[in-house]
């Protein structure tokens, strides 16, 4: 009986994992902005989750557990890459060219570019809170940092996004006539 | 900036994310309602949250793979089908060369009639090979039209036509694309085009000519003037005129701004 129970549970978990794939991918993509890497990280996280499924005691905490595995995979990935500088110390330059700036006026691109410019820690916190709606406590568990850090990172991230995005969006709204002529 | 305010930024963020205890929340509600600056700040924080959600709502490029859990049945079936296909292909292929080889060998030997067939054969090969050789020399020209001045539109049509005529006469393979954005889009709009007949005629005469309209411009027209741009038949749409121009230039197209 115990055995069948276990079996049922694991099948349920497998289905849940499969359903979480898109969400995990979205989060991984928001962190690294690289589709292939995001896919790899998602797969890695799911594999680990499946392998260590016995560590999950409380099914209600499954989401936080899954995303903390993803966060570990993400951190491990960058730990493996020794040739990189600590991303937390860098203010990442915007990779978009002036041309793409002038033509891709789409809000989505702007927001993604702004998020890509955030330091890694802030990016993780803001995406976990905004995309998945995790509570601050859960985010602190997922990332393994104190809750105060979560709050300050979130605060800085939102301020940075606001500083980047609000002027851009306002400029777009105020200059309709010029915008048509700007592309030569 | 926030010194004189009662709430820290962290507190406001927690308010926006619904992370406050109920009594704290009630207090915050009252204060925020009575304070325009705070209200605006909360509003902007909410906006940031909405923007982040919007930015990752649509994940283009993500193809959710099917369940990866092994389905041995499928794999085995696929293996069988593959093996069957290979075997079938091999079997069908085997007798092929033999009959083909015989006529080719036999025809020249047969006498007067076959040579006609034989002479037909060789020319059939070069035309197939020729474009491949010339493809390297293919001329690719890109005209960029961003103005709706009649003389500019006239000019781009004249230039493109003259060029196409010249290359056709010279037997040179050429491709010409006219990319329109901004005001230049008018060339391709059914209601605004100064000379739709000519565009149609040119497209009909030259199959190596194409007209492209910028989707961004179309969207902008829709957004700012509420106009849905209807394009002439035969005109294609590219996501972004500028991006297309850059792409084409990277592909070795010659760029001419009109």
Rounded to whole angstroms, the Cα distance separating B82 from A44 reads 30
| pLDDT the model gives residue A127 | 92
Structure confidence at residue A61 (pLDDT): 86
Q: Which of A155, A166, A178, A179 to mutate to test the interface with B (most CBs of B within 10 A)?
A: A155
Report the pLDDT value the prediction gives residue A151, as an integer from 0 to 100.
93
- Quick: pLDDT tens for B223-249: 888 888 888 888 888 888 888 888 888
Tokens of B81: 């089908």
B198 band by pLDDT with thresholds 50, 70 and 90: confident
The DSSP 8-state label assigned to residue B207 in this structure reads T
pLDDT tens across B28-55, in order? 888 888 888 888 888 889 989 988 888 8
What is the per-residue pLDDT for A102? 53
Query: What mean pLDDT value characterizes chain A?
Result: 80
Band of pLDDT at residue A153, cut at 50, 70 and 90? very high
Tens digit of each residue's pLDDT (9 = 90 or more) over B1-18 = 444 457 888 888 999 898
- Selected residue of A151, A163, A165, A168 to mutate for chain B interface (largest B Cβ count, 10 A): A151
The CATH classification number of A1-84 equals 1.10.1740.10
Interchain proximity B14–A159, CB inside 8 Å: no
Backbone φ/ψ region at B256: left (φ over 0), alpha (ψ -120 to 50), beta: beta
Coil, strand or helix at B231: strand
**pLDDT for residue B117 is more than 50:** no
Weakest-pLDDT range from A28-42, A129-143, A146-160, B244-258: B244-258
Tell me the pLDDT tens digit for each residue of B125-159: 344 333 333 445 778 888 888 888 888 888 888 88
Kindly indicate the confidence band of residue B173, based on its pLDDT and cuts at 50, 70 and 90: confident
Classified by CATH at the fold level, domain A86-184 comes out as Arc Repressor Mutant, subunit A (1.10.10)
Choose among B14, B59, B257: nearest Cβ to A26. B59
Do A129 and B17 form a contact (C-beta atoms < 8 A)? yes
Please give the residue that has the higher pLDDT: either B119 or A156: A156
Q: Are A127 and A30 in contact (CB under 8 A)?
A: yes
Distances (CA, A) of B179 to A58, B99, B212: 59, 52, 5
- With beta carbons less than 8 A apart as the criterion, state whether A180 and B182 touch: yes
pLDDT computed for residue A69 by the predictor: 93
Question: What are the structure tokens assigned to B121, written together?
Answer: 């054969």
Q: What is the mean pLDDT of residues A162-180?
A: 69
Cross-chain Cβ contact A115/B52 below 8 Å: yes
Most B CBs within 10 Å: which of A47, A158, A160, as the mutation test of the B interface? A158
Q: What integer is the mean pLDDT of A87-100?
A: 60
Q: Look up tokens 């993400």; give the residue.
A: A74
Tell me which of B129 and B192 has the higher pLDDT.
Answer: B192
Q: Given this model, what pLDDT does residue B104 score?
A: 42
Domain with CATH 1.10.10.10 in chain A: 86-184
The ipTM, to two decimals, is 0.70
Q: Per the CB < 8 Å rule, is A108 touching B44? A: no
pLDDT at res. B107: 42
pLDDT value at residue B56: 85
Question: What CATH superfamily classification does B135-257 receive?
Answer: DsrEFH-like (3.40.1260.10)
Q: What is the pLDDT of residues A3-57, one digit of tens each?
A: 555 556 677 788 888 888 999 999 999 998 888 889 999 999 999 998 888 888 8
Instruction: Give tens-digit pLDDT for B53-109.
Output: 888 877 765 655 544 444 555 667 777 888 888 888 888 876 544 444 444 444 444
> Is B115's pLDDT higher than 60?
no
A101 part of contact set with chain B, CB < 8 Å: no
Cβ separation A111–B55 shorter than 8 A = yes
* pLDDT value of position B197: 87
Q: How high is the pLDDT of residue A170?
A: 76
| Residue A128 pLDDT class (50, 70, 90 cuts) | very high
pLDDT of residue A93 exceeding 70, the answer is no
pLDDT at position B253 over 70: yes
Q: Which long-range contacts (CB under 8 A, 24 or more apart) does B71-75 make?
A: none
pLDDT tens sequence across A29-43: 999 888 888 999 999
Strand order from edge to edge, sheet including B139-145: B236-238, B209-214, B174-180, B139-145, B254-257
Where in chain B are the domains?
A: 9-55, 135-257
> Which part of chain A is CATH 1.10.1740.10?
1-84
């Amino acid at each position: 009986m115990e055995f069948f129970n276990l079996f049922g549970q694991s099948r349920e978990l497998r289905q849940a994992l499969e359903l979480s794939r898109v969400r995990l991918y979205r989060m991984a993509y928001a962190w690294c902005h690289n589709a292939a890497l995001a896919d790899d990280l998602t797969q890695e996280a799911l594999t680990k989750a499946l392998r260590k499924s016995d560590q999950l005691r409380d099914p209600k905490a499954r989401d936080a557990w899954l995303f903390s595995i993803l966060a570990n995979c993400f951190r491990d990935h960058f730990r493996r890459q020794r040739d990189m500088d600590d991303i937390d110390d860098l203010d990442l330059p915007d990779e978009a060219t002036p041309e793409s700036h002038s033509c891709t006026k789409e809000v989505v691109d702007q927001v993604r570019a702004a998020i890509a410019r955030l330091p890694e820690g802030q990016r993780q916190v803001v995406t976990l809170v905004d995309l998945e709606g995790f509570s601050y406590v859960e985010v602190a568990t997922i990332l393994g940092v104190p809750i105060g850090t979560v709050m300050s990172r979130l605060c800085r991230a939102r301020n940075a996004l606001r500083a980047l995005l609000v002027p851009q969006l306002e400029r777009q709204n105020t200059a309709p006539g010029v915008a048509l002529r700007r592309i030569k | 900036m926030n010194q004189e305010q009662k709430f820290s930024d962290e507190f406001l963020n927690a308010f926006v994310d619904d992370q406050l205890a109920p009594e704290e929340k009630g207090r915050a509600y009252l204060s925020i309602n009575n304070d325009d600056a705070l209200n605006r700040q909360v509003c902007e924080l909410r906006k940031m949250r909405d923007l982040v959600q919007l930015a990752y709502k649509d994940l283009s490029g993500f193809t959710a793979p099917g369940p990866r859990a092994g389905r041995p049945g499928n794999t085995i079936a696929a293996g069988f089908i593959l093996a069957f296909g290979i075997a079938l292909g091999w079997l069908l292929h085997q007798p092929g060369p033999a009959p083909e080889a015989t006529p080719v060998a036999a025809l020249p030997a047969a006498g007067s009639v076959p040579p006609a067939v034989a002479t037909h054969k060789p020319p059939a090969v070069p035309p197939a090979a020729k474009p491949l050789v010339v493809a390297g020399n293919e001329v690719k020209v890109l005209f960029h039209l961003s103005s709706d001045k009649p003389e500019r539109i006239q000019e781009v049509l004249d230039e493109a036509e003259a060029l196409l005529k010249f290359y056709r006469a010279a037997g040179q393979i050429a491709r010409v694309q006219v990319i329109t954005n901004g005001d230049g889009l008018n060339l391709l709009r059914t209601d605004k085009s100064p000379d739709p007949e000519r565009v149609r005629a040119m497209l009909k005469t030259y199959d190596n000519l194409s007209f492209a309209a910028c989707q961004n411009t179309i969207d902008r027209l829709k957004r700012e003037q509420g106009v849905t741009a209807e394009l002439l038949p035969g005109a294609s749409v590219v996501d972004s005129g500028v991006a297309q121009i850059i792409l084409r230039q990277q592909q070795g197209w010659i760029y001419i701004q009109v």
